[in-house]
Amino acid sequence: MSGSDETDTAESHREHNDAQSGPPVSVGDQRVVEIDEIGQQGDGLTRVEHGYVVIVPDTEVGERVRIQIRHVRETVGFADVVERYRY
């Protein structure tokens, strides 16, 4: 492998790792999730890719809801309920 090929490969790996290190959601994304637990402030919590936590107010454990992401931080996201599903 030439020096240029090695540099391209290393750069490609770095870009791939950088993409994975950021939040796996963006503002406006919608997902169907199940609420796993209730946080200390009384809001529902769910986890998406890579264990990323999303806080969903006004939900209960076991509830299945469609959410829309409204705010994204490096380690946690915040979402609103768009739709509730019956079991």
In a domain, 69, yes or no: yes
Region 39-66 average pLDDT? 97
Q: Render pLDDT for 16-29 as a digit per residue (tens, 0 to 9).
A: 444 557 999 999 99
Distance CA 87, CA 41 (A): 26
Residue found under tokens 């240029």: 4
Q: Report how far Cα 29 is from the mean position of its chain's Cα atoms.
A: 9
In a domain, 68, yes or no: yes
In a domain, 11, yes or no: no
Contact call for residues 55 and 78 (beta carbons, < 8 A): yes
pLDDT at 67: 98
Q: What's the token pair of residue 86?
A: 């019956």
pTM over 0.85: no
Query: What domain range includes position 32?
Result: 23-85
**Domains contained in the chain, number:** 1
Give the CATH number, domain containing residue 42.
2.40.50.140
In a domain, 15, yes or no: no
Region 47-62 average pLDDT? 97
